[in-house]
């Protein structure tokens, strides 16, 4: 809703009800399987919840949660890939990570120390016929040799309400293990990857 519509709606005393009714409707899911969602439906669900995500992740002052949206986007749009609980995903890369990450190289590199990837997620519930904000999932590259079990990646998360998520390192890393050649990065689906020059 633009500011102008918001103000004119407020003039009729409708602002609040109209805004919440709209938010309800645009998060509705009508398909029987999340993989039946078309690209434009995924984008519409994402746009519906985008502001809620940003506001929620930053609410408790988490440093990444409050800042990741000023980082480099890595995808042309949010997408469902199948991992991460069949969620709609959208990843951002900080300044240190962006140059290397956006090459989507398959082998022969290690991400620079201080690299951070932050992935927004939206949970699609077929049962509840509704999409809702999921956690912000993050990977931070620590000093070389500091966490041998994860090749120095620290996996963290922020809940949709801004609170820190308890994250079991092995849970995250075990699933990222097949991507060892690309320093455990799995990357967005090829069709939505955003190159550096775009
Ligand atoms: C079931 C397998 C699986 C689990 C478990 C998993 N991931 Fe991932 N992760 C993936 C895949 C596949 C991608 C790439 C998907 C995409 O971006 O579309 C990915 C991407 C990411 C990215 C973006 C960087 C990249 O790899 O391109 C971050 C950040 C991330 N995961 C964090 C986490 C955290 C934190 C946890 C634990 C709470 C976790 N992941 C658990 C499979 C998994």
- Would residue 198 count as lying in a domain? no
Q: Is the CB of 89 under 6 A from ligand 1?
A: yes
Rounded-to-integer distance, Cα 65 and Cα 118, Å = 8
If one counts the domains in the chain, the total is: 1
Ligand 1 within 6 A of CB of 37? no
Predicted model pTM: 0.88
Q: For residue 4, is it within any domain? A: no
Cβ–ligand 1 contact at 21 (below 6 Å)? no
Residue 62, in any domain of the structure: yes
Q: Would you say the CB of residue 78 lies under 6 angstroms from ligand 1?
A: no
- Report if residue 8 sits inside a domain: no
Q: Residue 131: which of 24, 13, 17, 1 has the closest Cα?
A: 24
Angle CA 91–92–95, to nearest 5: 150
| pLDDT for 113 | 98
Which ligand 1 atom is the nearest neighbour of the CA of 79?
A: 18
Distance CA 175, CA 100 (A): 21
**153 found inside a domain:** yes
136 closest CA partner among 111, 176, 163 = 163
Confidence of residue 36 (pLDDT cuts 50, 70, 90): confident
Domain that holds residue 29: 13-192
Task: Give domain status of residue 128, yes or no.
Answer: yes
pLDDT digits (tens, 9 = 90+) for 121-172: 999 998 999 999 999 999 999 999 999 999 999 999 999 999 999 999 999 9
Evaluate: CB of 88 within 6 angstroms of ligand 1: no
Residue 54 within a domain: yes
> Cβ distance 89 to 2 under 8 Å?
no
Cα–Cα distances (Å) from 46 to 51, 77, 79, 118, in that order, read 9, 9, 9, 16
**Residue 161 domain flag:** yes
Measured in Å, residue 21 CA sits from the centre of ligand 1 at 33
């Amino acid at each position: 809703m633009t500011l102008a519509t918001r103000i004119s709606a407020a003039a009729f005393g409708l602002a609040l009800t109209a805004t919440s009714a709209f938010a309800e409707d645009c998060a509705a899911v009508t398909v029987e399987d999340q993989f039946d969602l078309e690209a434009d439906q995924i984008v519409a669900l994402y746009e519906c919840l985008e502001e809620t995500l940003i506001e929620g992740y930053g609410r408790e002052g988490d440093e990444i949660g409050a800042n990741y949206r000023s980082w480099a986007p890595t995808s042309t749009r949010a997408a469902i890939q199948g991992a991460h609980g069949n969620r709609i995903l959208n990843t951002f890369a900080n300044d240190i990570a962006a140059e290397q990450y956006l090459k989507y190289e398959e082998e022969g590199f290690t991400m620079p120390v201080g690299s951070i990837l932050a992935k927004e997620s939206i949970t699609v519930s077929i049962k509840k016929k509704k999409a809702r904000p999921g956690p912000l999932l993050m990977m931070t590259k620590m000093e070389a040799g500091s966490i041998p079990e994860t090749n120095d990646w620290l996996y963290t998360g922020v809940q949709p309400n801004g609170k820190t998520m308890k994250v079991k390192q092995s849970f995250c890393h075990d699933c990222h293990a097949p991507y060892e050649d690309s320093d455990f990065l799995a990357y967005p689906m090829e069709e939505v990857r955003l190159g550096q020059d775009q």
